[in-house]
Amino acid sequence: MANADERRFDVLRAIVADYVSNQEPVGSKAIVERHNLGVSSATVRNDMATLEEEGYITQPHTSAGRVPTDKGYRLFVDRLSEIKPLSAAERRAITTFLDSGTDLDDVLKRSVRLLAQLTRQVAVVQYPMLTNAKVRHLEVVPLTPARLMLVLITDNGRVDQRTVDLGDVITEEDVARLRTVLNAAMSGRRLNDAAARVAELPDKSPGELRDALIRVTTVLVESLAEHPEERLVLGGTANLTRNVADFPGSLRQVLEALEEQVVVLKLLAAARNPGAITVRIGEENEDEQMRSTSVVSIGYGRDDVVLGGMGVVGPTRMDYPGTIAAVRAVANYVGQILAGR
127-149 pLDDT tens trace = 887 666 788 899 999 999 889 99
In the predicted structure, residue 210 carries a pLDDT above the cut 60: yes
Domain spanning 2-77, CATH architecture: Orthogonal Bundle (1.10)
| Consecutive H or E run containing 278 | strand 278-281
In the predicted structure, residue 335 carries a pLDDT above the cut 70: yes
Q: What is the pLDDT of residue 1?
A: 45
- The Cα 328–Cα 325 span in angstroms is 5
Phi and psi based region of residue 67 (left: phi greater than 0; alpha: psi -120 to 50; beta: remaining): beta
In the predicted structure, residue 229 carries a pLDDT above the cut 60: no
Q: What is the pLDDT of residue 296?
A: 94
Confidence of residue 242 (pLDDT cuts 50, 70, 90): confident
Confidence of residue 340 (pLDDT cuts 50, 70, 90): low
Q: Is the pTM of this model over 0.85?
A: no
- Per-residue pLDDT of 40-72, as tens digits, reads 889 999 999 999 999 999 998 767 689 999 999
Cα distances (Å, whole numbers) of residue 180 to 172, 174, 191: 12, 10, 18
The single-letter code of the amino acid at 195 is A
Domain spanning 132-226, CATH architecture: 2-Layer Sandwich (3.30)
- Per-residue pLDDT of 5-35, as tens digits, reads 889 999 999 999 999 998 899 999 999 989 9
- Per-residue pLDDT of 286-326, as tens digits, reads 888 888 999 999 988 877 777 888 999 999 999 999 999 99
Q: What is the pLDDT of residue 19?
A: 94
Q: What is the pLDDT of residue 220?
A: 86
> What residue spans define the domains of the chain?
2-77, 86-126+230-338, 132-226
Confidence of residue 82 (pLDDT cuts 50, 70, 90): low
Averaged pLDDT score across all residues of the chain: 86
> Bridge partners of 140?
150
Q: Do domains 2-77 and 132-226 have the same CATH topology?
A: no
Summarize the chain as % helix, strand, coil (round to 5): 50, 20, 30
Homologous superfamily assigned to 86-126+230-338: GAF domain (3.30.450.40)
Confidence of residue 102 (pLDDT cuts 50, 70, 90): confident
